[in-house]
């Protein structure tokens, strides 16, 4: 599912560090097809680096839109949760 992979990449970029430890450290918790959004959370080294988004923390929301045969994904993080 391209939107899930794109959401993981977008979240890593929004956090400014990339996908630390690999894509398994960003978990797709839920998908809302009608809103074209995904909720993500962090595990492993990602959670250790950004504990505010780890287990029990804030979720990360990513939005996707189809564009021809590709998917565009955008992830915006609230400033108050970033250190």
**pLDDT tens, 5-59?**
999 999 999 999 999 999 999 999 999 999 999 999 999 999 999 998 888 888 8
Q: How confident is the model at residue 61 (pLDDT cuts 50, 70, 90)?
A: very high
3-state secondary structure of 34: coil
Q: Give the confidence band of 82 by pLDDT, cuts at 50, 70, 90.
A: low
pLDDT at 81 (0 to 100): 56
| Beta partners for residue 28, in sequence order | 40
What is the reported pLDDT for 56? 83
Helix (H, G, I), strand (E, B) or coil at 35: coil
> What pTM did the predictor assign?
0.86
The partner residues of 65 in beta bridges, in order of sequence, read: 72
Checking if the pLDDT of 83 tops 60, the result is: no
């Amino acid at each position: 599912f391209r939107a899930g992979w794109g959401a993981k990449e977008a979240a890593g970029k929004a956090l400014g560090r990339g996908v630390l430890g690999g894509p398994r450290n960003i978990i797709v918790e839920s998908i809302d097809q009608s809103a074209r959004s995904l909720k993500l959370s962090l595990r492993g080294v990602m959670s250790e680096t950004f504990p505010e988004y780890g287990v029990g923390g804030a979720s990360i929301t990513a939005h996707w839109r189809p564009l021809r045969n590709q998917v565009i994904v955008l992830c915006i993080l609230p400033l108050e949760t970033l250190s």
